[in-house]
Structures are given as structure tokens and as C-alpha cells.
Structure 1
């Protein structure tokens, strides 16, 4: 069983084993030049709150006032500061007996005298830990001037990681879920996928019968406003990547007058349906696969000596693994199935720095050893070799997505998706089509469903899109920019998932200047 391939970049991914080939090296050399171009000598410009912006702790309703008036009790914890935020399970009907705890971490601004406020970050998922993201990479989130003037704040959204996490399946059951054939060839394999989808859905409902109803992105966006108030900021300064863009756009639409300096990088627009998500991601991964294969064939590529031949070689490898899984050396998952292999290849497409490792892993798989592809798949799933998972990404991703984007309970719908998607994305179409099946059998409803957002009356929002992003295709960034009332689009003509902070001087300088000086990039800036 596969999952939606839209999780955030993992900070602990395997590094490339060989020197990048010439095409990729040009990109990396451009990144080296960028490192000195991300600072400004001008004094910072405080975010301007309009006269119609309510007081920082003003609550939308009287029933929520006690949440908006809370202050955070920061304590030192492993190199950062930690605090707990209390939010209601149901913002429409708050009941203290059902309150949730949002875990928050902070790295204070280096220049407290001139600080511009808090910069809240969400790295994606849904289901990725913002706390882990900040702990692992505080010095690389934003340029030096951003880190100088902003408190960097990470948070685990409700139901995620340390914030009352939803738990649906045991480790062995989750291994089975992820390892089940994601490109079924017959009715029996379709039924096996359905069985695993129902196991995920039923497990979430059984273990968290109240929480499962209140894990939509709109719920998390309302929590985000409570956090903004508790931090004492009149407006939200925010960096959202991947799914974090969906969360940020939802927040902006709910609280447009609260929008400060907001960047949405690698867009997942709130108005796309489940089928559109799968079809778009299938095309995105197909484009990223082509870029990887173009790089692979410039060297000693184990898949073939041309892009077309290498694509056929990759498809043949998946087919061979489907017929005969490969040994992994992991006693908890001794066999690399096609589903695991596809996750392993997919994670490497998120970042061209991993292409060398992927090529070596494919070479090993061609020789009958699935250990390295399994290592990549483990990285995708936040799985520990030997068994067990760090966090609950693989469960939260469905608990959130299936409220936001319900799908059909009819198995034949997914067969049609697979046919339609595969016409545009032969390598990835079926995998992304069947990946939405849990949302067809999800036991509860309650999210807003796909809907356009405008954030009418907000301050300017910066949208960033990467032309060959595998998980959040570039056209989605254009789509959201066109919907928002006041937005500027920055385009990175490159590879990988998201752009800001991935060492492109043009993108980084533009976003740093926006955060520190309030200079909105020119709409249409291309880097």
C-alpha cells in the first residue's frame, strides 16, 4: 500500500555516495555561489499592522477568549526552548475536558533588541514535525538576517508527532500497509489494497474516535491563530513548505487581517480534489524521473544508456520486484516489495543531492540486493531499520488528507484513475491513483472539502514554485497565486521539492529581503 507522496523533506536522508554528474554539479556550484548573497546591511523593517488589525489576543468568539489570553511558559530543552499551547478539540464548541496540547519549540532571534517577532514554520506532510524540523536545522531555515531578527518557532500540528498524535496501526501492521502492492494487477490484489485501506481507516477511528473528527487543515489553522496570540504577535509571520502551504493559505483565508509576512513554498492549493492531487503528483514525479534519468545516463547508468531506455529499465525493475521481492537484510521487513521500492525511488526524487545514492541503490537492486532501496524507503516513512517508526507521519497524512479531500468508496473509480493517470504518467500513474483508497473508506467526514481561497484584504503573500518539483507541481503555485487577492509568484527553474533555503541565491535573497525589509518580490520573478 502506498501513500500520498507529498511529505516534507527529511533532514536525515542518506547522502549521495558518488560525485554528482555534470548536469547536477552545475546546480550545486550555483548553490555555493549563493551562500554570500543572502544578507542585507539595511536595518530591519517591522511588519506594518494596519489600523483594522485587532489586538494580538482578540479572540474570534467569547468562548475562545481563554485560549487566546494564555501565555507560553518557555523552558530550556535540548538546545531550544519548549512550551505547551492549549487549544480546543472543537473551536466551534470548546470544552475544556477535550482540550489538546500543541507542542512548540523556539530558537530566539540573535538580536533581541531589534527583533521583528516570531517566524512560524511548517515543513509539510501533513504529519511532519515542525519541532523536529527546527531542532534539526534552525541555522539553515532562512538566511542569517532572518535568523538575526526573528524568533524561529516550530510546532507539531494537532494529531502530529508530540501533539496528541493519532495512532492507527501498530508497527508491524503499518509495515504491511506500506508494503502491499500499490499497482494491483487483478481483483485479488485490488481487494488486498482495500483490506489495508480499511485497516488504516478503522484503526484511526478505534484509537481516536473524537480526535479523528477534528484533524482537518482548517482545525490546524485555527490552532495556528491561537499560537500567534500566545506569542504576542498581532500578525502571523510564516514559512510553509509543501503541505505547509495548504495550512498557510487556509490560515490566510480564515484570518486575512492577521497575515504578516507569509511565504508559501511548493504549493498544495486548497481547492484541488483528491483525484487532481493524485494526477498532478503522478505528472510531477514523471517529470522528476525524467530529470533524474537525464542525469543518470550521463554516467554509468544501470538502467540504460538513453533516457527512454533507462525509463524502460526502471519500469522493468519495478515489474521484476513485483514478481520476486528482493532481500533487504531487515528481519522486520525481509523482502523489498514493489511498493517499498517505489517509496525508495520517490524519496530520492525530492532532492537531486540524493540521485547518486539512488543510482547505487538501483545498481544493487539489479544485482538482487534490496537493502539500499529499503534504506531509502525507510527514510521516506520515517521508519527505523529493524522496525519501528519515528513519529506518525504515515498515519497523520491520511487522517488529515481524508478529512480535507474525501474520495470514492468504489474500487472501480481507482481503476479508472489508474488508467487516466497512467496515460500522462506511465511510471507513477497507477501508484498515485490507488494511493487515495483510504480516503474512499474513511469513517468520518467534517472537513471543508476542496475550496478556493482568496485571503481578501490580506497583506501581500509570497508564493514560490519549482518547475520540476515532483510532489507539488509548478502549476499549483501559479494556481494559488492567481486565486489569492494579493500575492507575488517567485519561480525557481530547477529540480527538487521546494526552493527557499535550498541554496539558490536568487530565491533566497528575494525571500530574505521580504522577511527582513518587507520588500515584496516582483510578481513573476524567475530564478
Structure 2
């Protein structure tokens, strides 16, 4: 199991919004690209003045292009990075509002993959009618000079390393695995590794805003995408338009608190799953209590630690892979039936179901190759904050607190947080309050039993933002927009189309 502070939403997790919103816009926010970038610093004006050359993507209805940004904003003359962009133009009817950038989270998730696979066809029709739907793969991600670290075979080995070490030798193996991962990133991606921070990506988004001819940035960010959006608003409050931050992060927290809070979040999600499972006659974790279900799951993990089970292929189901498979299913309650079946299989020494869930989490292809999600995830996280731990001894001291947060997942989550302690590039970010003083109203969405971004984070971010408005979904799963709540969808649609935020503190179920 390797969460690596992974805050993500899959491209298929969102459903079509239930209600349509009518009404007229106050007008388009679009102007010429040169005017939109007029306030750029002198040394960045060549980037703000470049021309985008759009071409057919080969995917029906989508256009693609690339834009240049400085590799290092502090030294713009030291070279460029090329970033991939895609869009689907507003379909009408209704007056075009402007561009709507989307980001699915991660960090490391492909925004272009999300746009083409879901957002530009699955967002509510009135939103797609009046916005150009746009995505930029962040620097270091997917099509934008991706960070690379390990081969497929090396990644297979890495994902099977024991992340709940019981003795010094096992702790040494885990530390060596983190070191090998970091060394691989430095070897294959040394040029960009120090320059994939969230601040730099937010600055790239402002260049794109100008090149699209938009005076204001309109944006929907999920999970880690909320941190990216909030960072943009803090940097450019006067250029902030309609921002939806769904499944919010709290930028004021240090890495250790983020990891520990997320541990508690996954425990709460597991308790919801267990409460549902024990009501069913075929629950593989028993049919008595949620506590008993947690004990049964922990025993399964312990058994797999001692003896991995077959999966029908060369890889066996280890404790680490099984834990990752369970974690993957916590993001969306729609995956609970699949998880019950996978757990039942593991109990019969068939690990194929949990392995499939783990592979989906890691974005492993059937041919054994991996997307760069986990590589970019580590690269961004380890730049954005100083490491949670710098040594195995520091982890050991923290394990009791993590186990208090989650008896089932705590130990593994604590050890997984050691990864940035070996990172070859020094962190450039620190925990900080994000206020975005002067920004237009920003809608922050929190789900009460969100595993990956605990609800308290949304409360905190909405409180920090000078113009933050908190919208609450009382339910399960990661993020809320487009996942079946007409109340949530209607409120967000009205904001995106009319500019009217929901009443602060509005609750939906």
C-alpha cells in the first residue's frame, strides 16, 4: 500500500448531474489574448504573448495544442517546458461565458484524460453549452514532460514491498525501496524534478488563461485539484473567476497531519463500508459488528503478510497490494460490491479481485506498464511540503498516533509517509493559510465521510478563503459534484452559469 498523500478522483467516478439550470449570464469574460496577458511581468511577456496553434486531437470534437512555460519562473531565460492542452468548444445554446478549466486531482492525474474521458461529455449539458471545456496536463504529468522513475518490472516489485515492517530488516528493505524510487526519479527526470510544484502549475494556468483570452479563470478542481485552484486564487485573486473546489485540501497543514487525517478518513470510510457489509448474508468480513469486520480485515492482511496468495498470474497478492485494493474501493461506494467479492475471493486464496483493484489504483496496464501517476504524485507532494518523516525512527514514534486514527490502516499509512524523506529535490513549499484576499466568491465542497480529503479540511479551507463558501454533502465517497445529489449539482450549476454561489453552510444529502 502506498498512498503517497494520493488525493485523486478517477475519471469514471462522476455521474451526470441531475438538474438543468436556466438563466442568462451577465456576459462573457473573454477578451483578446494580448489584453488578457497585458499585466504580465516584463520577463514573462513572451510566454503570455505566444500564439496557440490548435489542431484536431483525433478524438471527436476535441482540439489539442501545446504551450510553453518557463521551466523556472525565477529564471525565465533558463529554458522552457512544453505543456499539453486540450479543449472542446462550447456547444450552445446560450451565450458563451468563457473557458472552464478542469483538474481531476492526484497530484499526477491527467486533466486531459479526464476532460476527454468524462468532463466534456459528462458535465451538465447547460455547462458544456456555455463554456469551452479545457484541460492542461500539469507539468510532469502524462502529456506534459512526464516525470519517470521506475520501469514496469521495478514498479511491480516496489508495490509489493512490505509497508508494515515488523522488524529492523523489513524496515531497511522499505527504506531501500523508497531510496530506489527516488534515485530512479532523479536519474530519469532530473531536469524537471525541482520544477513541478503546485505553485508553478498554478502560474502555468494563468499563462493559459491569458492565451485563451479570458480575463478571469473559471475552474472546477477535485481533490488535489482544490489545492491547485486555491493556490491560483491566492496568487492571482484579481483574475479569479468562478472556482469550484470539490473534496478540499487544507493548505495550512504540515505533511504529518495530512497523512494522519487521511488515515482517519479512510478508517471512517471503511466503517461505512463495514456497516453496510455486515447487513448482508454474504459479507466476507462477518455479519455481526463493524468492529468485528475490522478485526477480520486486519487478520486477512496479517495472513497475507505471512503468506501471499495466488492471483492467476506471476504476481501474488501481498499484504501491501491487498491494502491498496481495499483503499481503492473506499473512494466510491459504487465499488463496495466489487470489494466484497474481492475480499471473499482472497479468503478462498484467490487474490485476483484485490489485485485488479490495486492495479486500477496504480494505473497499471495489462502489459505491465504503468502510467506516470505515482511518479508525478511523489514529485509534486515532496516539493510542496517538507517530509512527514526523515527516518524510520521518526515513523516508529508516530505509529501509535496513526493506529489510533485507524486500527486497520494506521501502521501502513505511517510507514508510507516516509517516502519524501529520501527525495532528491528539496521542498519549496510550506504549510500556509490560503486567503486569496479580494477574490470573487469561491465554492468549497466537502463530503462528510470523504476518505481521502476529510470533511474538516473543507471547513478549514472555506474559513481561510476570504470569499469562501462552504457547500456540504452529507454522505459517502470522495467528492460530491456529479455523483448523484441533485441538491449539490443544482447549487454548483447555478454558480457556474449565473455566478451565484450557494448560501454559506448549505447542506445536501
Q: What is the aligned partner in structure 2 of residue 25 from structure 1?
A: none
Deviations 1:398-433 (A, max 9, x none): 100001112232211111222211112111111221
Superposed CA RMSD in Å reads: 1.8
Given the alignment of the two structures, is residue 93 of structure 1 paired with residue 75 of structure 2, yes or no? yes
> How many Å apart are 1:121 and its aligned residue?
0.5
Whether contact under 8 Å (2:262, 2:452) holds in the other structure is yes
Name the CA distance, whole Å, in 2 between partners of 1:46 and 1:294.
49
Of the candidates 131, 152, 155, which is equivalent to residue 112 of structure 2? 131
CA distance in 2 between counterparts of 1:83 and 1:452 reads 35
Alignment of 1:61-460 (within 5 A): 61-77=41-57, 78-79=59-60, 80-95=62-77, 98-111=79-92, 114-139=95-120, 141-299=122-280, 300-305=282-287, 306-331=289-314, 334-389=315-370, 391-407=371-387, 408-460=389-441
* Superposed CA offset, 1:189-211 (max 9, x none): 11111001111111111222221
SS in 1 for 2:435: coil
Q: In the alignment, is the contact (CA less than 8 A) between 2:9 and 2:223 conserved in 1?
A: no
Deviates more, 1:40-49 or 1:493-502: 40-49
Deviation at 1:10, TM superposition (A): 2.4
Deviations 1:422-454 (A, max 9, x none): 112111111221112121111121422221110
Instruction: Give 1:8 deviation, angstroms.
Output: 2.1
TM-score, normalised on structure 1? 0.92
Tell me, what secondary structure is at the counterpart of 1:43?
coil
CA deviation string 1:505-525 (max 9, x = no partner): 000000000000111110000
CA deviations on 1:306-354 (whole Å, 9 max, x unpaired) are 21221111111111111111111233xx211111111100111100101
TM-score by length of 2: 0.95
| Number of aligned residue pairs | 500
Shift in Å, 1:140 = 5.1
Q: Return closer, same or farther for 1:47/1:471 CA change in 2, 3 Å cut-off.
A: farther
1:487 aligns with 2:468: yes
Asked whether the 8 Å contact 2:328–2:357 carries over to 1, the reply is yes
The 8 Å contact of residues 90 and 96 in structure 2, kept in 1 or not, is answered as yes
Q: Is the 8 A contact 1:461 1:486 kept in 2?
A: yes
Report if the CA contact (8 A) 1:142-1:501 is conserved: yes
Aligned-residue offset at 1:59: 4.5
CA contact (8 A) 1:2 1:180 kept: no
Contact 2:7 2:453 (8 Å CA) reproduced: no
After TM superposition, the structure 1 stretch with the greater mean CA deviation from structure 2, 416-425 or 490-499, is 416-425
CA contact 1:71–1:231 (8 Å) conserved in 2: no
Deviation at 1:71, TM superposition (A): 2.4
Deviation at 1:385, TM superposition (A): 2.9
Gaps of 5+ in 1: 14-27
Closer/same/farther in 2, CA of residues 144 and 45 from structure 1, 3 Å limit: farther
**How far does the alpha carbon of each residue in 1:364-420 deviate from its partner, in whole angstroms, 9 at most, with x for none?**
00000000100000000000134111x200111110000111223221111122221
Write the distance in 2 (CA, Å) between the matches of 1:444 and 1:210.
Answer: 11
Cα distance change, pair 501–12 in 1 and its aligned pair in 2 (3 A)? closer
1:23 counterpart residue number = none
Alignment gaps of 5+ in structure 2: none
4+ residue stretches of structure 1 with deviation over 6 A? none
